[in-house]
A and B are shown apart, each in its own frame.
Chain A
């Protein structure tokens, strides 16, 4: 148990930022992102204790993705309405920089939130987290070819959405 805990502690340290980001870009507030992220790791830990997890990263992304879907399903919310209001914490100090940062990134985030769950997942994992196609395919439970096609379509849809709202 002690070794398991130590091992999972390392997994936590390695993936917490990525999983948090993956959730944050898809929900409406920091609080919700934190709640879902804690639940993801709690469920991950419960499973880790009882079974061998070959690919913790794909496993955690799968849990997080399902929890985000459950979140919208349970609350009867639509992603289109809620995720647009989630503002991105701004690390910049200058006023002009702040304005540009806010409008650019919130625009991308809002456009992302209008895509389907599959499209959002594939875009975030590929371009935000730099995951190889093989890893994304595992997280999505799809073949690599199907993942490539989804990614191509998702990027096109996102581009259209950003240009439409620009």
Chain B
């Protein structure tokens, strides 16, 4: 005859029942992941109180196409009269970029400046470098506002790719004999990128992970500790 106490302790032994970790993480990604695909809205379709950004974008794109068809702005290089107009046009476009895309967009602008320098190194060097530094600094600021754990992976991918391209372009320009500098801005950027990777790692540590994902996390942490933030993020994206 079992006593009540013995019975309760037997019931408590049923705590050993646990679902498989692979099933747990797979189900989580099915429930939350599929919904993400269903509800994803391209930024140009966002609705602001009845005013569709799509409409505004269409007008701006028409204008940009008109100017682009003559190549007036995009062909201008540092030192040209229209170069400042081109830079101003790019800056103005920033307003229309959704928050989560801003870091990647600022990096793209920084890359454009490096491309400009590679094409016309002798012309108007100083203002272009200053602009490049400003773009990196702005990208770092935008990145600190970003929550990578809830961001669209496509955005993170763009940041990683743009970061890679900047490093390549910097080497290209420096091989032409120009010192880009931007140590302070690069440090700001690295700090911001490190925070993003740290947040992703923390988020993964607090989640239920399959064996495969746990290995990814371990490798990410290793790269993070070595200060290879971009590589750590890239590893995460490749193995998602």
Chain A CB within 8 A of B35 CB? yes
In the bound complex, CA of A70 to CA of B146 (Å): 43
**Total contacts A to B, CB within 8 angstroms?**
100
Q: Is the CB of A162 within 8 A of B2?
A: yes
B1-36 near A? 1/0 per residue, CB < 8 Å: 110100110111111111100011001101110011
What's the least CB distance linking B114 to chain A, in Å?
32
Chain A CB within 8 A of B206 CB? yes
Q: Which of A105-130 contact B (CB under 8 A)?
A: 105, 108-109, 112, 123-124, 127-128
Chain B residues whose CB sits within 8 angstroms of the CB of A124 once the complex forms? 11
Q: Is the CB of B14 within 8 A of A109?
A: yes
The 8 Å CB contact of A5, one of B11, B24, B36, is B36
Q: Is the CB of A2 within 8 A of B31?
A: no
A29-70 near B? 1/0 per residue, CB < 8 Å: 000011001100110010000000000000000000000000
Interface residues on B, range: 20 to 34
Q: Is the CB of A105 within 8 A of B13?
A: yes
Q: Is the CB of B17 within 8 A of A123?
A: no
Interface on chain B toward A: helix, strand, loop, or mixed SS?
helix
Chain A CB within 8 A of B149 CB? yes
In the bound complex, CA of A127 to CA of B2 (Å): 16
State which of A19-27, A76-84, A132-140, A141-149 sits at the interface with chain B: A19-27
Q: Is the CB of A127 within 8 A of B12?
A: yes
> Which of A8, A16, A88 is most buried by chain B, counting CB atoms within 10 A of its CB?
A16
What's the least CB distance linking B145 to chain A, in Å?
13
B203-236 near A? 1/0 per residue, CB < 8 Å: 1001110000000000000000000000000000
Residue of B nearest to A6 (CB): B150
Chain B residues whose CB sits within 8 angstroms of the CB of A153 once the complex forms? none
Tell me the A residues contacting B by CB distance below 8 Å: 1-3, 5-6, 8-10, 12-13, 16-17, 20-21, 24-25, 33-34, 37-38, 41-42, 45, 88-89, 91, 104-105, 108-109, 112, 123-124, 127-128, 155, 158-159, 162-163, 166
The contact sample of 28 A-B pairs, CB cut-off 8 A, is A1-B39, A5-B32, A5-B150, A9-B32, A10-B206, A12-B208, A13-B208, A17-B24, A20-B17, A21-B18, A24-B17, A24-B19, A41-B27, A42-B31, A45-B31, A45-B32, A45-B35, A91-B16, A104-B10, A105-B10, A105-B16, A108-B11, A109-B14, A124-B11, A155-B8, A159-B4, A159-B7, A166-B1
